[in-house]
A and B are shown apart, each in its own frame.
Chain A
Amino acid sequence: MKLQTATRLGLYAVLELARDPSQTLSAGDLAKRFGVSTHSLAKVLRTLSAAGFVQGGRGASGGYRFTGNRRRITLMDIVALFEPAPGSHAPEPGEDTAIGAALQRVLTEIDEIAEATLRSVSLETMLRLRS
């Protein structure tokens, strides 16, 4: 499954901050850790902050900390902030043919399995897997 760069960075940032909710890390700290630009990370952190998963970030060196519930937030909650809703896509040529509809059923099945997987893994479970 291919995730957009912003989605991966969102997952990295949330998991890194959720690892220790008492720690405060700046966009620069996180960017350095993941080898990306501070600008890319800052944009992702603003989205996470607007969703209530992290808090902080006043000024260029302002730090962020995790403010969510590790047991309740799933990977899908983060992915949904950056990716189109599962199964949603612009109509494509050929979709209204019998072959197009059959192909769409298979693609929907794949989307449903991916969504179920992402919804079933909480941040708490992820952090336990990595230790």
Chain B
Amino acid sequence: MVDIRPAQATDLKAISALDARLTGSDKPQYWQEMLAPDRHFLVAETAKGGLAGFIAGEVRAWEFGQPAAGWVFAIQVDPKTRLKGVGSALFEALAMRFKQQGVTSVRTLVDRKDHLILSFFRAQGMVAGPSLQLDKELP
């Protein structure tokens, strides 16, 4: 139903627009940086060439003291194409690339009040990992 392929510079405008629409914050520079060669930045393209979604991640070693793992930085699916397996296809394609790099686990950080994305990652088989995120507001 969708074709998963590496993102290109020509996709950035649509990626940025989809993300801004869903998160309310426009960050084109951030998406530009995701095109770096050591990162995996994939898009799901519809048969008509439209953007159905995207995923970005990278293998990082010794991040927060943890051995190498694939980190998922972002995933977004156009609400019009949800519940059709686009998110799962993106996740599986990224996981495959992580595996090809020799890592055996995938990791992400999720807002604990964002039940939609939490449910998505749970449905992919992800469970609570060994780390806890801690925050502090600076005075």
Contacts and interface: CB of A to CB of B under 8 A. Distances in A.
B84 interface: no
A105 to B, nearest CB: 13
A89 to B, nearest CB: 20
A19 interface: no
Interface in A88-122: 112-113, 116-117, 119-122
Would you call the interface of chain B mostly helix, strand, loop, or mixed?
A: helix
A23 interface: no
Interface residues of B, number: 10
Interface in B36-50: none
A124 B119 CA distance: 10
A74 B113 contact: no
B122 interface: yes
Contacts of B118: 116, 119-120
A28 B46 CA distance: 51
A125 B122 contact: yes
B136 interface: no
B113 A120 contact: no
Nearest to B83: A71
Nearest to B112: A116
Interface in A6-33: none
7 contacts: A74-B119, A112-B112, A116-B113, A116-B118, A120-B115, A124-B123, A128-B125
Interface of A: 74, 112-113, 116-117, 119-122, 124-125, 128
